[in-house]
């Protein structure tokens, strides 16, 4: 995103944290190989086949205290937490994300549905951009391919919650559901909306 790439020296190499990193697949190592990538999650489900040499995983709960010193990262990314945190847990989570970001560093949150307040900049951060993106899932672009892959991975990693809702009782059901879901995403006229807010720590 321009607000990030224009402000931070991604080419030169910065330190990046992905909170709730899950498989560890979100990273920009292929585009920005000089950066150092960290990921944390309450469970270790990192995808062992992803070979990111400069990726370090740590167990960490964003509603408690993340295992990092204050002002550690130039860029902190946190995505798809809307189904993970209760409303009362968000203030702690946001405080933690701000705490571990360096002054002048940036934070980016991405969710399927974010509603901007009129001006929720504060003493601690200012909002740089608020972007709504829609994606035609049958458009066969690289972004769509990655998005579909990510969707399928998220379903696999959230089976404890989703299985009963989706009528999945065993591995065979899972495989058949994922196949049908992927096919529908690729072929039906579906559009996915995503919103990202980017802020700078003051
Ligand atoms: C829906 S997945 C999103 C994964 C990844 N961020 C992405 O966009 O593909 C949410 C992730 O957040 C992790 N998570 C949930 N609650 C958390 C918490 N309190 N602290 C840290 N990670 C948490 C889950 O284990 C899961 O890996």
Residue 151, in any domain of the structure: no
> What's the domain count of the chain?
1
Report yes or no on 137 lying in a domain.
no
% of the chain beyond a pLDDT of 90: 50
Residue 43 lies in a domain: yes
In the prediction, which pLDDT does 59 show?
A: 97
Q: How far away, in angstroms, is 45 Cα from ligand 1 center?
A: 10
What single-letter DSSP state applies at residue 112?
Answer: S
Q: How far is CA 20 from CA 17, 44, 125, in A?
A: 10, 10, 21
Strand partners, 126: 200
The model carries a pTM of 0.83
Residues 97-119 pLDDT 10s: 999 999 999 999 998 877 766 66
Residue 10: give its domain's CATH number.
3.40.50.150
In a domain, 129, yes or no: no
Q: How far is the CA of 59 from the centre of ligand 1 (A)?
A: 11
62 in a domain, yes or no?
yes
149 alpha carbon – ligand 1 mean position (Å): 16
Tens of pLDDT, residue by residue over 140-155, are 888 788 888 888 887 8
Domain assignment of residue 106, yes or no:
yes
Q: Does the Cβ of 63 fall within 6 Å of ligand 1?
A: yes
Please check whether residue 55 is in contact with residue 38, taking contact to mean a CB–CB distance below 8 angstroms. yes
Range of the structural domain that residue 91 is part of: 4-111+195-201
d(CA 10, ligand 1 centre) in Å: 24
- Predicted confidence at residue 51, as pLDDT, reads 64
Q: Does residue 14 contact residue 74 with C-beta atoms inside 8 Å?
A: yes
Return d(Cα 99, Cα 111) in angstroms, integer: 21
Q: Which residue's alpha carbon is nearest to atom 14 within ligand 1? A: 20
Instruction: Name which residue sits closest to atom 20 of ligand 1, judged by CA.
Output: 61
Instruction: Provide the token pair at 4.
Output: 């990030």
The reply to whether 92 falls in a domain is: yes
Q: Which atom of ligand 1 is nearest to the CA of 85?
A: 16
As a whole number, mean pLDDT of residues 174-187 equals 92
Strand ranges, E, within the chain: 15-19, 36-41, 55-59, 73-79, 101-111, 125-136, 191-201
Can you tell me which residue has the tokens 């066969």? 140
**Token reading at 174:** 């899972």
In a domain, 48, yes or no: yes
For 193, the token pair is: 């909306």
Q: What is the pLDDT of residues 67-106, one digit of tens each?
A: 999 999 999 999 989 888 999 999 999 999 999 999 999 9
CA 71 to chain centre: 20
DSSP code string of 63-107: TS--SS-TT-EEEEEEE--TTTS-GGGHHHHHHHHHHHEEEEEEE
């Amino acid at each position: 995103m321009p607000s990030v790439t224009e402000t931070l020296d991604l080419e030169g190499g910065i330190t990046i944290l992905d909170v709730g990193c899950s498989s560890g697949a979100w990273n920009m190592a292929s585009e920005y190989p000089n950066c150092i990538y960290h990921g944390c999650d309450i469970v270790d489900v990192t995808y062992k086949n992803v070979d990111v040499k400069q990726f370090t995983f740590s167990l960490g709960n964003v509603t408690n205290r993340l295992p990092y010193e204050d002002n550690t990262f130039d860029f902190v990314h946190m995505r798809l937490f809307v189904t993970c945190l209760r409303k009362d847990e968000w203030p702690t989570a946001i405080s933690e994300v701000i705490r571990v970001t360096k002054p002048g560093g940036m934070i980016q949150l991405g969710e399927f549905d974010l509603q901007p307040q009129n001006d929720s900049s504060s003493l601690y951060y200012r909002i740089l951009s608020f972007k709504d993106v829609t994606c035609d899932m049958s458009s066969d672009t690289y972004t769509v391919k990655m998005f579909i892959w990510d969707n399928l991975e998220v379903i696999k990693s959230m089976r404890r919650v989703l299985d009963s809702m989706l009528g999945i009782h065993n591995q065979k059901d899972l495989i058949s559901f994922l196949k049908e879901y992927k096919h529908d995403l690729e072929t039906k006229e579906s559009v996915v909306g995503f919103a990202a807010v980017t802020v700078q720590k003051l």
